[in-house]
Amino acid sequence: METCFICEKHQGTIKTSGSTIYKDDYVYVGHIDRKGKPNYLGHIMIDLKRHIPTLAEMSIEEAKAFGMIMSRVSKALKESEGAEHVYALVSGNSVPHLHLHLVARYPNTPEEYWGPMDVYDWDKAPMGEEEEVVQLCNRLRYHLENQII
């Protein structure tokens, strides 16, 4: 089988931005990695552990776990990071391993920059270096560990 960036990330053979926010038997949650470029703070990746291409191939158990963590991380972005809205997107154009982008939109983002990728174009978007990404991941992990569900 060809090597897969996301499978390698789960196996820990490559290092990506930030730290692990959450993982269990079905899902892995971390921050986006832009290969050294500053990251939009609060652009979170939810990966299915199993290497399947789209939402359509999930088992019922995987779908339950995926849906649950989507909601929990969205709630954490609002409560811990002050997001006023959370965008969700499955693209899969670059890596055929199911992963969902959750992107926080913060208060006062001008409407012309609303959208999961449009927020990057705002010159005042909250971009961060590695240390800030690590701190954000730590806050989200702590929030999830203490979240009442």
C-alpha distances in angstroms, 94 versus 4, 5, 41, 109?
11, 10, 21, 28
Residue 77, classed as helix, strand or coil, is helix
Query: Which residue in 23, 34, 50, 51 binds Zn ion (CB under 5 A)?
Result: 51
Distance CA 136, CA 3 (A): 29
103 binds Zn ion (CB under 5 A): no
Of the candidate spans 21-29, 66-74, 92-100, 134-142, the one that interacts with Zn ion by CB under 5 A turns out to be 92-100
Q: How far is the CB of 127 from Zn ion (least distance, A)?
A: 28
Distance CA 142, CA 80 (A): 9
* Phi, psi dihedrals of residue 144, rounded to the nearest 5°: -65, -40
Q: How far is the CB of 49 from Zn ion (least distance, A)?
A: 9
Query: Which residue in 97, 99, 141, 143 binds Zn ion (CB under 5 A)?
Result: 97
50 binds Zn ion (CB under 5 A): no
52 binds Zn ion (CB under 5 A): no
45 binds Zn ion (CB under 5 A): no
Of the candidate spans 3-11, 16-24, 63-71, 72-80, the one that interacts with Zn ion by CB under 5 A turns out to be 3-11
Q: Which of 108, 93, 88 is nearest to 44 (CA)?
A: 88
49 binds Zn ion (CB under 5 A): no
Q: Name the residue nearer to Zn ion (CB basis): 41 or 69.
A: 69
C-alpha distances in angstroms, 100 versus 20, 30, 142?
15, 11, 21
Residues of this chain that interact with Zn ion (CB under 5 A) are 4, 6-7, 51, 97
